[in-house]
Chain A
Amino acid sequence: MSGWLWRIAFAPPLGLAVYAAASHVALLAGWALPVILLPVAFLLGCALAMCVSPTMPPWTRESDARVWKVVPWLVAVFLLLLVGTVTYGAVATSDREWDGLVSWGLRAHFLAPPADLSHPFFSDPAVYAHSVAYPLLQPLCLGGCQAVLGEIPGRLFFPGLFVAFLALVAGVARHRGLPRGKSWVMVLAFGATPMWYSVGSGAVDSGYAELLLGYFLAVAAAGLVTRRAVLVATAAFCLPLIKPEGLPYALLLGLVTALGSDGRRLHGAATVGLVLATGLWLPLQARLLGQSSGLMSWALPLGIGLGLVGLREVQLRSALRVRTWLLIGGGVAVVAAVILVLREDDGSVKSPLLGEFQSALVELPGRFADLPTVLAGYLQGFLFVRKFGLLFPMLLFLLCFRRSWTAVAPDRQAAAFFLGGIVLACLAIFLGASTDWDHLFKSRFDRLLLQWVGVGWLILGPWLGTLLSLSPRGLPSESIRPPDSSRP
């Protein structure tokens, strides 16, 4: 496939972002969503992405070993089987998993065009509406597909998104200079992660939002790895619109780009995306909660933007020691700001991931008594081979060789993003409202980790290239194109 066509791999994120912006603006304005909004906005975004993306570099020369001529075909056969399985699972019946039925699928039904938020499901508090104030991007996408294709065929959204995810991983692999065969192996290693296609919560056809959130986390990592500001901005914009934990993840992205060593381009993109997302989502969320859209709904996005820009400017002008303290202080301040600002009058907080932290802080001393159980639960989650294969053991292994981990410069930010996200996921469990550790580690921690699987494989990619190459030196940078040569 030509380099121009390969740009398709990076087009869907912008397509979804344009639809997200258009649909959220329409809902805020009180307009009914037209049926054609999804296809038109998505195609418009994709076309825009095709125009602004630079042409992909040619494939790096493959080694002459015969095996690399067969590998793409073998992988393609398996991926076809994989996508076929989840497609069958998606369109054979309606939702078969709890949250897919109760939360995501139900809201998609009531948001399917032509619809607006005046429907009693969203506007009347006497109507039972589960997680009504949750972000709306997935229900909007699913409802949009169902309005165009029909209720069951509209569920093709899920396998379609999975294919886009595979294409993104392949696109990043190629962009980083992995030869064709090794790129296919990387896509296989990611796509074959058992939790994507196992029966249960979090799977592609389960109707959960882990796939969409994981996709945009990978888009963010792809932006960091390939230095593409448009991908970083798109991810920062879409993450808060998908799930409550998307907001802290987007803040983390802003923090990582603020404290990175590059110029202002990526950081500016993350900040703009995050400010626009919170500017659209917080007033909408206030309406769904039956509250007036107060000053805070508008002041918070501005505060986040100014905070992140200020952090970046101070960081650029400071010595190393000051930067370290900025890293710690900035992280704490961002999390604390979100907790405080999102707090309700009764002390509860809108964002489940962050909100539970507050009540948990009071019980913190007691929780340390459970620390051995919690640590064992974390370890069990990372080593859950039946769900993640050997991804996390491989990443932990690389962590032990820290010099190797950070040897390739553009991966530092992606690695920091990944590690920060894993820390947030662990904190969400330890500081969450519930102390039913068994339940938390069985049904929640695995889904939090699943969200980071794509990012994990994007980080591992360069080492895979080295590992599978016949290079005489075996260093991570050997088979990988230097970062700056791919800069647009």
Chain B
Amino acid sequence: MKPDKPHRPPWLRLLGLALIAHLLFCVQRLGTKSLPARIDEIQEFRENGAIRFHLSKSPENAAVLQMIAENTPEECVVLFKGEGRGSMELAVGLLSPRLLYAESGAAPDVSMIHGLPVARAKLPNLGEGTLVLVGVDRETLRLELRR
């Protein structure tokens, strides 16, 4: 006597095909897409640094933040004003651990806030003064000096 053949309803067979397709697609995707893309991304990050990597589509903003990062100590306060969304959000993360402090809340001659020095720098054509990072709009950052 023949043993009973395994019986599966048609919908279960379709589900089985879908499962096999899912596994094959996902497994090949790791090797062919995700791993190479990740390696490229990491290489780009290492070559350009965090600021230029995150602001690769906006080199002007990258130059502004790079200038602050290179000319101020990590433990300091940077004044800011203007549009707080968009590029300014990234600036907060990229300039960390520097604190961004609302310019409107800082006294005119302030030099220390929360025990940290307020960032000062000398800018070409502008002279020396307290740095103010300005969010012109969601896409544009600019530096001003407060004397």
Residue numbers of A with Cβ under 8 A of B are: 78, 81-82, 85, 88-89, 92-96, 98, 101-102, 105-106, 109-110, 120-121, 124, 126-130, 185, 188-189, 192-194, 197-199, 385-386, 389-391, 393-394, 397-398, 400-401, 404, 463-464, 466-468, 470-474
Contact, CB under 8 Å: B19 / A126: no
In the A-B complex, the 4 residue pairs with the closest CB atoms: A192-B26, A126-B105, A474-B8, A128-B100
Q: Other than A96-B42, A464-B19, give 11 A-B pairs with Cβ distance below 8 A.
A: A88-B38, A93-B42, A93-B45, A102-B90, A126-B105, A126-B106, A127-B99, A128-B80, A193-B26, A473-B7, A474-B8
| Assembly CA distance A397 to B14 (angstroms) | 9
**Residues of A close to B92: CB separation below 8 A:** 102, 106, 128-130
Candidates B12, B38, B54; contact of A199 at CB < 8 Å: B38
Q: CB < 8 Å: which of A92, A109, A126 contacts B96?
A: A109
Bound state CA distance, A89 and B38, in angstroms?
Answer: 7
Specify which of A92, A192, A474 is in contact with B7 (CB 8 Å cutoff): A474
B27-35, B65-73, B121-129, B136-144: which one contacts chain A?
B27-35
**A-B contacts, 23 listed (Cβ < 8 Å):** A85-B35, A93-B42, A95-B93, A96-B54, A102-B90, A120-B99, A121-B99, A128-B80, A130-B89, A189-B26, A194-B29, A198-B33, A198-B34, A199-B41, A385-B25, A393-B18, A394-B15, A394-B22, A398-B15, A404-B11, A464-B19, A472-B6, A474-B9
Binding site of B, secondary structure by majority: helix, strand, loop or mixed?
A: helix
Q: Contacts A92-B42, A126-B101: A85 and B93 contacting too (C-beta < 8 A)? A: no
**Minimum CB–CB distance for B60 against chain A, Å:** 19
Closest B residue to A102 by beta carbon equals: B93
State which of B12, B41, B106, B113 has its C-beta within 8 Å of the C-beta of A466.
B12
The 0/1 profile, CB within 8 Å of A marked 1, for residues 70-91 of chain B is: 0000000000100010001110
Task: Say whether B114 faces chain A, with CB atoms less than 8 Å apart.
Answer: yes
Binding site of A, secondary structure by majority: helix, strand, loop or mixed? helix
CB pair A102–B89 under 8 Å, yes or no, is yes
Task: Find the residue from A110, A386, A467 having the highest chain B CB count within 10 A.
Answer: A467
Contact B4 A96 (CB under 8 A): no
The verdict on A188 contacting B38 (CB below 8 Å), with A126-B102, A128-B100, A474-B7 known, is no
Q: Separation in Å of the B90 CB from the closest CB of chain A?
A: 6
B45 contacts A463, C-beta separation under 8 Å: no
Contact surface of B with A, Cβ cutoff 8 Å: 4-9, 11-12, 14-16, 18-19, 21-23, 25-27, 29-31, 33-35, 37-38, 41-42, 45-46, 50, 53-54, 80, 84, 88-90, 92-94, 96-97, 99-102, 105-106, 113-114
Distance of A189 Cα from B24 Cα, bound (Å): 10
Residue of A89, A189, A199, A464 most packed against chain B (CB within 10 A): A199
Complex contact A197–B12 (CB within 8 A): no
Nearest-CB residue, chain A, relative to B85: A130
What is the distance, in angstroms, from A177's C-beta to the closest C-beta of chain B?
A: 18
B34 contacts A194, C-beta separation under 8 Å: yes
Name the distance in Å between A29's Cβ and chain B's nearest Cβ: 22
A300 to B88, CA, bound (A): 35
Which residues of the other chain, B, contact A188 by a CB distance below 8 angstroms?
A: 23, 27
Residue of A nearest to B37 (CB): A199
Considering the chains assembled together, what is the distance between the CA atoms of A199 and B50 in angstroms?
16
Given known pairs A106-B96, A120-B99, A124-B114, the reply for A472 and B7 (CB within 8 Å) is yes
CA distance A121 to B12 in the complex (A): 55
**Residue contact A401 to B11, C-beta cutoff 8 Å:** yes
